[in-house]
Chain A
Amino acid sequence: AQSVSQHNHHVILSEAASLELGCNYSYGGTVNLFWYVQYPGQHLQLLLKYFSGDPLVKGIKGFEAEFIKSKFSFNLRKPSVQWSDTAEYFCAVNAWNRDDKIIFGKGTRLHILP
């Protein structure tokens, strides 16, 4: 069965630090990959997505993610975080040729210290 694993449940960083959030998935076929962010009290927002093409995907707010097929990974990165990046981040996977079910990781809570 498909699954998504986010390694860090809670990350605390200082402003200007670099960020990398891990995401691994299990599915042998073609996938669509997403990173979503949810700020406190708000609904989910799409940060970036990978469907095909360049495995290095750039999203909003300076985030990027790299799809490494051989490692089944789609890690999220940002070179310099801001206090406003404090939020919960979700990795999600949608397998092609399945029933379009999207599977979410359990989320990583990111707390940025001012």
Chain B
Amino acid sequence: GAVVSQHPSRVICKSGTSVKIECRSLDFQATTMFWYRQFPKQSLMLMATSNEGSKATYEQGVEKDKFLINHASLTLSTLTVTSAHPEDSSFYICSATRWDHYGYTFGSGTRLTVV
């Protein structure tokens, strides 16, 4: 079945630094990837939708200059949290789908802690 690998699973960084999170589809071509964020004890919040080869579409309230999304190939999308602050500490998860949106597969998530 379809597999999405997300890396790293856990990262701790200092305030002001940048962190890159990778989301890879291992056995299919992911034309669309979604990035979500989960706040403690809440449901997921969609941050952005990225289609391969084009700019990501950000949800209202999500700073595109802070959360840089790159979807340069059919198997890889990256989320870079720039100039991270403690309030960016959260759980980030990606999901990917094929061109026909036949099935969605989630990564295992990344726990980001900014100190």
Task: Determine whether the beta carbon of B101 is less than 8 Å from that of A40.
Answer: yes
Task: Determine whether the beta carbon of B106 is less than 8 Å from that of A100.
Answer: no
Please measure, in the bound complex, the distance between the C-alpha atom of A107 and the C-alpha atom of B1, giving whole angstroms.
12
Chain A residue contacts of B109, Cβ below 8 A = 101-102
Chain A residue contacts of B61, Cβ below 8 A = none
Q: How far is the CB of B110 from chain A (nearest CB, A)?
A: 9
Q: How many contacts A-B (CB < 8 Å)?
A: 49
Known: A88-B104, A102-B44. A44 touches B95 (CB 8 A): yes
Q: Which of B34, B44, B93 has the most CB of A within 10 A?
A: B44
Q: Which of B64-89 contact A (CB under 8 A)?
A: none
Task: Determine whether the beta carbon of A106 is less than 8 Å from that of B1.
Answer: yes
Q: How far is the CB of A5 from chain B (nearest CB, A)?
A: 14
Interface size class of B (residues with CB under 8 A): 20 to 34
- Flag whether B46 is at the interface (Cβ < 8 A): yes
Task: Determine whether the beta carbon of B111 is less than 8 Å from that of A44.
Answer: no
Q: How far is the CB of B7 from chain A (nearest CB, A)?
A: 15
Please measure, in the bound complex, the distance between the C-alpha atom of A46 and the C-alpha atom of B43, giving whole angstroms.
7
Chain B residue contacts of A38, Cβ below 8 A = 104
Q: Can you list 29 A-B pairs with a CB-CB distance of less than 8 A?
A: A34-B43, A36-B43, A36-B44, A40-B101, A41-B101, A43-B34, A43-B46, A43-B49, A44-B34, A44-B95, A46-B43, A46-B44, A51-B41, A88-B103, A90-B104, A90-B106, A94-B41, A99-B10, A99-B111, A100-B40, A100-B111, A101-B91, A102-B38, A102-B44, A102-B91, A102-B93, A102-B109, A106-B105, A107-B105
Known: A49-B43, A99-B111, A107-B105. 19 other contacts (CB 8 A): A32-B41, A36-B43, A38-B104, A41-B101, A44-B34, A44-B46, A44-B95, A46-B43, A90-B104, A90-B106, A94-B38, A99-B10, A100-B38, A100-B41, A100-B91, A101-B91, A106-B105, A107-B103, A107-B104
Q: Which residues of B contact A (CB under 8 A)?
A: 1, 10, 34, 36, 38, 40-41, 43-44, 46, 49, 91, 93, 95, 101, 103-106, 109, 111
